[in-house]
């Protein structure tokens, strides 16, 4: 079933490649946590699975539109610089905790000092001033929006990140938003 499933998703990714769409590809995330089937055994089994997927998609399917984002959450589970482009960390801090999450950032750097480290899932926004103070510059962040930033009606809520902090983050000179990117990167 593994090969069948890898082949099925690869066919869809090939459509994107044929249309010049680059994909931030973050398979098998949060592996070392043990709550997903791909991480419930050990790091060797996980690395074997990652390598199988990488080889199949890169060499058999010849996918070249994937930016491989590794998110194993433990440097001991790292798959290697040759099989990963970006290190990802998922952080769900307590409500209104705007820390830069330096320990988690350094966890990503520990996996590979040669890669960018992204905040690939988070519930609370980090304060850009605290990131600058702590020297923690996440390459990107990806808020889990519903229930963390907006409700089901699309209205901004203050439960985890207060509205003034949301505005501060998106208006900060330290944060590059999509509309500030060159058109070719949007």
Residues annotated as catalytic (active site), given as ranges: 30, 121
Sign of CA dihedral 132, 135, 138, 144: negative
What is the rounded CA–CA span in Å between residue 25 and residue 145?
19
Q: Give me the helix-helix angle, 43-55 and 2-18, nearest 10°.
A: 50
Q: How far is CA 62 from CA 7, 9, 145, in A?
A: 12, 13, 33
Residue 103 in tokens: 């320990």
Nearest-5° Cα angle at 126, 122 to 127: 170
Give the residue from 142, 128, 27, 46 showing the smallest Cα distance to 85. 27
CB 168 within 8 A of CB 127: yes
Distance CA 182, CA 186 (A): 7
* Beta-sheet pairing, 116-122 with 66-70: unpaired
């Amino acid at each position: 079933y593994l090969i069948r499933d890898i082949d099925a998703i690869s066919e869809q990714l090939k459509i994107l490649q044929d249309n010049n769409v680059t994909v931030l590809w973050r398979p098998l995330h949060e592996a070392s946590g043990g709550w997903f089937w791909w991480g419930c055994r050990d790091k060797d089994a996980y690395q074997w699975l990652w390598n199988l997927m990488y080889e199949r998609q890169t060499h058999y399917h010849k996918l070249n539109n994937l930016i491989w984002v590794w998110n194993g959450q433990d440097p001991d589970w790292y798959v290697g610089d040759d099989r990963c482009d970006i290190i990802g960390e998922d952080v769900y801090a307590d409500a209104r905790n705007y820390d830069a999450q330096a320990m988690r950032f350094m966890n990503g750097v520990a996996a590979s000092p040669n890669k960018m480290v992204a905040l690939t899932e988070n519930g609370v926004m980090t304060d850009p001033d605290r990131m600058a103070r702590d020297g923690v510059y996440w390459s990107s962040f990806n808020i889990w929006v519903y229930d963390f930033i907006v409700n089901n009606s699309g209205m901004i809520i203050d439960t985890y990140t207060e509205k003034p902090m949301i505005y501060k983050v998106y208006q900060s000179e330290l944060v590059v938003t999509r509309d500030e990117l060159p058109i070719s990167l949007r």
